[in-house]
Structure 1
Amino acid sequence: MITQSSRSLLDISSQCKTIPIVENRVHFTQVLDISQIKAILLRHCNLFELTSLLHNAHRRALSIYVYIDHIDGIHADSAGLRYLAEQLHVTGILSNHPRILSLGKSFGLETIQRIFAVDSTGLEMALETVDKAYVDLLDVSPALVIPYIVPSLTKLLPLPFIASGLISTPQQVKAVLRSGASGVAVSRPELWL
Structure 2
Amino acid sequence: MWDGFFKNIINNPIVAAINDLNKAEAAINSPCKIIFLLAGDIFNIKSIVDRVKENHKLIYVHIDLMEGFSKDIIALRFINENIGPDGIITTRGNIVKAAKEMNIFAIQRLFVLDSLSLDTGIKSIRSTRPDAIEILPGIMPRVTKAIHSETKIPVITGGLISKKDDVIQNLRSGAIGVSTSKEEIWYM
So what's the TM-score if we normalise by structure 2?
0.90
CA distance in structure 2 between the partners assigned to 1:152 and 1:54 by the alignment: 33
Please state how far the C-alpha of 1:88 moved relative to its aligned partner: 0.8
Give the aligned partner of residue 74 of structure 1.
69
Residues 96 and 113, structure 1, Cα contact 8 Å, conserved in 2: yes
Map 1:70-109 → 2, pairs under 5 A: 70-109=65-104
Please state how far the C-alpha of 1:157 moved relative to its aligned partner: 3.0
Unaligned runs of 5+ in 2: none
Please state how far the C-alpha of 1:176 moved relative to its aligned partner: 1.1
Residues 115 and 127, structure 1, Cα contact 8 Å, conserved in 2: no
1:21–1:154: structure 2 CA closer, same or farther, 3 Å change rule?
Answer: closer
CA distance in structure 1 between the partners assigned to 2:91 and 2:34 by the alignment: 20
Give the aligned partner of residue 124 of structure 2.
129
The residue type equivalent to 1:40 in the other structure is I
Give the aligned partner of residue 158 of structure 1.
152
Give the aligned partner of residue 61 of structure 1.
56
Give the aligned partner of residue 28 of structure 2.
32
Map 1:137-156 → 2, pairs under 5 A: 137-146=132-141, 148-152=142-146, 154-156=148-150
The residue type equivalent to 1:88 in the other structure is I
Residues 122 and 147, structure 2, Cα contact 8 Å, conserved in 1: no
Please state how far the C-alpha of 1:163 moved relative to its aligned partner: 0.4
Is 124-133 or 72-81 further displaced after alignment?
124-133
Please state how far the C-alpha of 1:7 moved relative to its aligned partner: 6.5
Give the aligned partner of residue 7 of structure 2.
11
| Number of corresponding residues | 187
- SS of the equivalent of 2:151 reads coil
- SS of the equivalent of 2:59 reads strand
- SS of the equivalent of 1:155 reads helix
So what's the TM-score if we normalise by structure 1?
0.88
The residue type equivalent to 2:167 in the other structure is V
CA distance in structure 2 between the partners assigned to 1:161 and 1:18 by the alignment: 13
- SS of the equivalent of 1:47 reads coil
CA distance in structure 1 between the partners assigned to 2:137 and 2:33 by the alignment: 23
Which digits, 9 at most, give the CA deviation of each residue in 1:13-32, with x for residues without a partner? 10111101012232110122
Q: Percent identity?
A: 24
